[in-house]
Amino acid sequence: MIAHIIGLAMAMAMTGAAAPTPAAVTPQGGTPQTAISQAATAKAATPAAGVYSDVEYIREAGDFIGVALEYRPGPKPAVVFTDCEGGCSGGKTVPVTVTGNTIVFDYCEQVVDQTGKASCNAWHYTGVFRADGRLVLTLAGSDEKPDVLRRLLHAQPHYVERLGCGADHC
């Protein structure tokens, strides 16, 4: 392909021909697109239902680290989310907003202080589904790099909820 492009460019330079412009194509009922914009559109991923995770088990420490979520599309899209730092907390279902290949959700991590008073650590997440089937999850206000979650094609039922159970029975 590259050799073909180079050969075409050389032939055009020798003959003084103008460079071809990408052909415009009009999708049925749509606006004209060039081949270049069609290729860019094809790389946008449609959010796919399923479990996405980067959770790892650290055998030496007996700890889990990473995040996992199950994306549930539909008329009321939601995610089941858990965060693991040592143990896993969460496994709770929260609503998401979907725009194109992006999901946005807020997660409240319940914490209890020394006096027994419960409060909420609120986290705001944005997830972008990539064409390679991965989900890039970014925590707002964090200077850590985003989590890149891979889709688990054969996840056990209630995988994310079970991670979030810790020592509790689910």
Assign residue 128 the CATH number of its domain: 2.40.128
Asked if 25 and 96 sit in the same domain, the reply is no
Domain assignment of residue 19, yes or no: yes
Sign, CA torsion 114/115/118/119: negative
**48-72: pLDDT as tens digits:** 999 999 999 999 998 999 999 999 9
Structure confidence at residue 121 (pLDDT):
85
Residue 151 scores a pLDDT above 70: yes
Q: What are phi and psi of 8, to 5 degrees?
A: -65, -45
53 exposed, middle or buried (CB, 10 Å; 0-12, 13-18, 19+)? buried
Quote the mean pLDDT of the chain. 77
60 and 117 in a single domain? The answer is yes
Residues 6 or more apart in contact with residue 39 via CB below 8 angstroms: none
The answer on 94 and 58 residing in a single domain is: yes
Contacts of 24 (CB under 8 A, 6+ apart): 32, 33, 34
Residues 138 and 75 in one domain: yes
- State the total domains in the chain: 2
Residue 170 domain-assigned (yes or no): no
- Using DSSP, state whether 164 is helix, strand or coil: helix
Take residue 141 and report the two structure tokens written for it: 């206000």
Please give the DSSP secondary-structure letter assigned to residue 140.
T
Residue range of the domain that includes 119? 50-165
Beta strands in the chain (DSSP E): 24-25, 33-34, 50-53, 56-58, 63-72, 78-95, 97-99, 102-112, 118-129, 135-139, 147-152
% the chain with pLDDT above 90: 44
Residue 36: what pLDDT? 45
Looking at the chain, the whole-number percentage of residues with pLDDT higher than 70 is 71
Is the pLDDT score of 164 beyond 80? no
Burial class (CB in 10 A: 0-12, 13-18, 19+), 125: buried
**Is the same domain home to 55 and 134?**
yes
Residues 6+ apart with CB under 8 A from 15: none
Are 55 and 138 members of one domain? yes
Fill in the DSSP letter of residue 20.
P
pLDDT computed for residue 162 by the predictor: 85
Task: Give 26 or 162, the one with higher predicted confidence.
Answer: 162
